Structure 1
Amino acid sequence: DDGRTSRPPGVKASKAIGKKAVVDGKDVAKYQTMWTIRKQDLEIKERMSKMKLLEKLYEKQEPLLEFEEALNLKLITELMSN
Structure 2
Amino acid sequence: MTDTRSPDNGALPTLTHATGAPVADNLNTMTAGPRGPALLQDIWLIEKLAHFDREVIPERRMHAKGWGAHGTFTVTQDIALGLPPA
Give the TM-score, by structure 1 length. 0.28
Structure showing the higher helix proportion among its residues: 1
Give the TM-score, by structure 2 length. 0.27
Which protein has greater RCO, CA pairs closer than 8 Å, 6+ apart? Answer: 1
